[in-house]
């Protein structure tokens, strides 16, 4: 019986030490990634697609639903979005959850941003979005770099109305193709 008890105690101590190490390592990774999100926020505020892409790892992809998009197309999409913006008012990104898997860190990122677009000459509207991304960061020789951003949830609005409603027109009716 004593032998079984000793094995149990050793296993318990090993599990606690492992959990403590992972928790400490998680804190260190979070501390390293927080400045990366601040850089991302600044890049978005400046509408600088090259600064955004400088934070990515080789093989970077974007994912939304079932579609996975390579880095060059992500860069083009972000560039087009930035070009439509007359002004980026605010950007906030927050690490809600972090898990370490080998040399990767998986982050559940809560984001919110707002800006002004000019869909027609002389007419501006407020555009905003808030949502969640699942970001895979990879430890590289250059430090932490984004390997994938997966959009989990997105709630875009125009002038405070959900995008679908705003695009349907002022009547609130859905346009038919």
Q: What is the pLDDT of residue 6?
A: 64
At 103 the pLDDT is: 87
DSSP classification of residue 172: -
> Per CATH, is 2-168 categorized as 3.10.450.50?
yes
Can you give the pLDDT at residue 166? 73
Return the pLDDT at 8: 60
Cα–Cα distance between 123 and 64 in angstroms, integer? 30
How far is 108 from 18, CA to CA, in rounded Å?
23
Q: Would you give per-residue pLDDT tens digits along the chain (177 residues)? A: 565 566 665 554 544 444 443 446 899 999 999 999 999 999 999 999 999 999 999 999 999 999 999 999 999 999 999 998 999 999 999 999 999 998 899 999 999 999 999 888 888 999 999 999 999 999 999 999 999 999 999 999 999 999 888 777 654 444 444
For the chain, domain boundaries: 2-168
How many CB atoms are closer than 10 A to CB 75? 18
Q: pLDDT at position 28, please?
A: 94
The model scores a pTM over 0.75: yes
> Residue 33 to residues 21, 98, 157, 167: CA-CA distances in angstroms?
18, 10, 28, 36
124 contacts 118 by C-beta, under 8 angstroms: yes
42 φ/ψ angles, rounded to the nearest 5 degrees: -65, -40
């Amino acid at each position: 019986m004593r032998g079984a008890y000793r094995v149990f105690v050793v296993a318990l101590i090993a599990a606690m030490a492992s959990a403590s190490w992972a928790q400490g390592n998680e804190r260190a990774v979070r501390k390293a990634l927080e400045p990366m999100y601040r850089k991302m926020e600044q890049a978005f505020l400046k509408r600088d697609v090259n600064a955004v892409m400088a934070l990515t790892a080789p093989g970077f992809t974007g994912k939304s639903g079932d579609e996975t998009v390579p880095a060059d197309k992500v860069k083009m999409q972000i560039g087009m979005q930035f070009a439509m913006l007359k002004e980026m008012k605010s950007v906030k990104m927050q690490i809600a959850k972090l898990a370490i898997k080998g040399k990767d860190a998986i982050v559940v990122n809560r984001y919110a941003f707002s800006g002004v677009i000019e869909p027609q000459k002389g007419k501006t509207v407020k555009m905003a979005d808030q949502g969640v991304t699942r970001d895979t960061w990879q430890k590289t020789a250059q430090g932490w770099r984004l390997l994938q951003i997966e959009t989990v949830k997105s709630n875009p609005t125009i002038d405070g109305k959900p995008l679908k409603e705003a695009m349907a027109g002022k009547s609130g009716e859905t346009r038919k193709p």
